[in-house]
Amino acid sequence: MALELYHSDHSTCSQKVRICLAEKGLDWESHVLHFQSGDHLTPEYLKLNPNGVVPTLLHDGEPLIESSVIVEYLDEMFPTPSLVPSDPMQRGRLRAWMRYMEEVPTPAVRVPSFNRVFRPLRYESATQDEFEARIARMPLRKAFYRRMGRLDGFSQDEMDNALSQIRQTCERIDAAIRDNFGPWIMGEQYTLIDVTLTPLIQRMADMGYGYLWQGDLPDMVDWFDRVRARPSFSTAFYANTNLSDKYGEYLKPEAGHDND
Amino acid sequence: MTTIELYQAPQSTCSQKVRITLAEKGFPEMKKDWIEHDVDLSKFQQLEPEYLKVNPNGVVPTFVHDGTVLIESSAILEYLDEVFPEPPLLPPDAAGRARARAWMRYIDEVPTTAVRVPTFANMLAPMRFSKTNDNDFAAHADRLPLRKQFYQRMSQKGFGKSELEYAEFQIRQTCERIDAAIADHGGPWIMGDRYTMVDAQVTPLIDRMEDLGYAFLWENDLPNATTWLKGVQARPSYAAAFYPGTRISERYPDFYRTAADLKAERGY
């Protein structure tokens, strides 16, 4: 069996899969894609992943796409240690959490990430024509880039809304730890929802948004300490995988908040 | 004896996904095979405190099995397939299941969100919000646990031209992918010769677009997608799930506007 991962060092969806691979103790071959040069939009890559996003996992040559699907596939193929509850209703609830994670915090995290780092990094020095041409090549999420714009970035309303979505996510994590008696989101068992939320919260912490949960969500704070203490975290977050490692100059503290 | 309850609305596409799946699993008839709790979306009952206790996202459907609550239509479909395994609605092998689930994530991200745009622009925004002032509209958006921004971008009038065009692009892309999947796997269903929950999940979305007069997006040049839609609509599960009054044109006939009506009114 051979596992190959097409991914990017700092993409949160790649990090979700890298954590899962580490939890399963699996070795894999790395193919790093660079967004700036458009590696994810080449005809060869689009054959593997028609959505033009990372990650893509190849298992014995068979391509698998969508990070939530990949982690569930890994759990089915490599069942030990199990990252999914054995009871069907509990699995249903895990999947409901996964759908929430995809709909709410995953897109929300993109807003400050692009506003503060990826837009200035990738598009500010491009021409408007180059920016439009890049959007035209993207199979998904064109509206996201159009709302952002090459120079303006997302509006304050969109930023506020994204931060309130992250706050809601943290409140739900906090409540779930209490309701299910911890230490993990589904209770005693560390599961795929802990895996997939970790990179999203880590990105927010790395960009200086820890104030969203540090003041008044103690169960969430402890959960975040626990997921970061797992060996899978250090494996998945190797050197230069945080935005602050690579693009620290873009992450000046925002007015009114300390960047810690 | 198993007890199935569904908090739902007749015209909600996510409720329809679950009703189709229930019918495929041998629970076709509302009030007989499963208990209905009607949630009147036009009165915003989905945002009442009592309902938010069972579904903190403030959306339909909510599924209850022998007293235990489960939310999120895609999670409900997988649960139904696990506890009522016959007939199976996912491929038997892990790689096949992963391909089906990748389709499901695409359906969640692309056509599910796209269909809301013409649904609200053509019908629901003028129906529900034409007399709502800015403050009341903003207050309504604030009550929503999810999708606040969808309402903020929509405004009381419904979406503008660029949002409608992008929604059409996304539905067109979905239909192109259905068309290609049927060509690649030999059909008649999206995953090949086996009808799966991917078909069940996307049927109400394409059906809604057809109902609103957007069939021009596929019927001229995507014959496989066109035949597929006729095929899913001919299944008994469709007749069971789309009982009278469930298509949005039937549910709110006084507010029915097609794609062509909307474009004529707005001069697009």
Give the mean model confidence (pLDDT) for residues B15-30: 98
**Residue-range domain boundaries for chain A:** 3-77, 88-250
Tell me what pLDDT residue B1 has. Answer: 79
**Across the interface, do A91 and B79 touch by the CB < 8 Å criterion?**
yes
Report the residue from A51, A96, A158 with minimal CB separation from B75.
Answer: A96
Q: Is A103 on the interface with B (CB under 8 A)?
A: yes
Give the mean model confidence (pLDDT) for residues A72-93: 98
Report the residue from A66, A92, A157 with minimal CB separation from B79.
Answer: A92
Q: What are B53-83's pLDDT values in tens digits?
A: 999 999 999 999 999 999 999 999 999 999 9
Q: What are A121-160's pLDDT values in tens digits?
A: 999 999 999 999 999 999 999 999 999 999 999 999 999 9
Q: What are B212-257's pLDDT values in tens digits?
A: 999 999 999 999 999 999 999 999 999 999 999 999 999 999 999 9
Domain A3-77 sits in CATH at 3.40.30.10
Spatial distance between the Cα atoms of A201 and A215, rounded to a whole number of angstroms = 15
Report the residue from B75, B98, B162 with minimal CB separation from A99.
Answer: B75
Nearest C-alpha in A relative to B105: A66
Spatial distance between the Cα atoms of B235 and B24, rounded to a whole number of angstroms = 9
Chain A residues within an 8 Å CB radius of B151: none
Report the residue from A68, A76, A96 with minimal CB separation from B105.
Answer: A68
Give the mean model confidence (pLDDT) for residues A201-210: 98
Give the mean model confidence (pLDDT) for residues B172-183: 98
| Average pLDDT of chain A, as a whole number | 95
Residue A162 distance to chain B (closest CA, Å): 9
Most A CBs within 10 Å, among B4, B69, B79, B104, to test the A interface: B79
According to the 3-state scheme, what is the secondary structure of B160-184? CHHHHHHHHHHHHHHHHHHHHHHHH
- Assigned fold of A88-250: Glutathione S-transferase Yfyf (Class Pi); Chain A, domain 2 (1.20.1050)
Tell me what pLDDT residue A255 has. Answer: 55
Tell me what pLDDT residue B30 has. Answer: 96
Question: Binning pLDDT at 50, 70 and 90, where does residue A14 land?
Answer: very high
Give the mean model confidence (pLDDT) for residues B123-138: 94
Q: Give pTM, 2 decimals.
A: 0.97
Q: Is A229 on the interface with B (CB under 8 A)?
A: no
Give the mean model confidence (pLDDT) for residues A80-93: 98
Pick the closest to residue B94 from A158, A11, A135, A62 (CA basis).
Answer: A62
Question: Binning pLDDT at 50, 70 and 90, where does residue B3 land?
Answer: very high
Q: What percent of chain B has pLDDT over 70?
A: 100
**Across the interface, do A96 and B72 touch by the CB < 8 Å criterion?**
yes
Chain A residues within an 8 Å CB radius of B111: none
Tell me what pLDDT residue B160 has. Answer: 93
Give the mean model confidence (pLDDT) for residues A228-245: 97
Tell me what pLDDT residue A260 has. Answer: 41
Give the mean model confidence (pLDDT) for residues A188-206: 98
Pick the closest to residue B142 from A157, A77, A95 (CA basis).
Answer: A157
Question: Binning pLDDT at 50, 70 and 90, where does residue A81 land?
Answer: very high
Q: How many CB pairs under 8 A join A and B?
A: 85
Tell me what pLDDT residue A247 has. Answer: 93
Is residue A253's pLDDT more than 80? Answer: no
Is residue A256's pLDDT more than 70? Answer: no
Is residue A252's pLDDT more than 90? Answer: no
Of residues A106 and B149, the one with the higher pLDDT is A106
Tell me what pLDDT residue A259 has. Answer: 43
Is residue A26's pLDDT more than 50? Answer: yes
Chain A residues within an 8 Å CB radius of B173: 139
A115: DSSP letter: I
Helices (H), chain B: 13-24, 49-54, 73-83, 94-109, 111-118, 125-129, 134-143, 148-154, 161-185, 197-211, 223-233, 236-241, 248-251, 259-266
Is residue A63's pLDDT more than 60? Answer: yes
What are the structure tokens assigned to B100, written together? Answer: 């089906």
**Which amino acid would we find at residue B173?**
Q
**Across the interface, do B109 and A140 touch by the CB < 8 Å criterion?**
yes
Domains and CATH numbers, chain B: 4-83 (3.40.30.10), 94-266 (1.20.1050.10)
Report the residue from A69, A89, A100 with minimal CB separation from B101.
Answer: A69
Give the mean model confidence (pLDDT) for residues A185-200: 98
Q: What percent of chain B has pLDDT over 90?
A: 96
CA distance from start to end of chain B: 55
